[in-house]
Amino acid sequence: MAKKKTLIVKQIGSPIRRDKVQRETLIGLGLNKMNKQRELLDTPEVRGMLNKLPHLVRVVGE
């Protein structure tokens, strides 16, 4: 079996005073606290969510 590509995503911004959609997108990514990191599969859906929040998240590893 081939190993699936993953991304390590870190939350760098606070969801305070952000639109409800942006807060819900962060929760969908599994992020809710500053500097929290998650390892996510590299799918078009995840990439789209990351593109909505470039000011709140950063990809730190692939």
Residue given tokens 């969801």 in the structure block = 15
Element (H, E) at 45: helix 44-52
pLDDT by residue, tens only, the chain of 62 residues: 667 899 999 999 999 999 999 999 999 999 999 999 999 999 999 999 999 999 999 999 88
pTM listed for this prediction: 0.88
Residue 57 has φ and ψ, to the nearest 5°, of: -130, 160
CATH dotted code for 6-61: 3.30.1390.20
Give me the half-sphere count of Cα atoms (radius 13 Å) on the Cβ side of residue 42.
9
Give the residue extent of every domain in the chain.
6-61
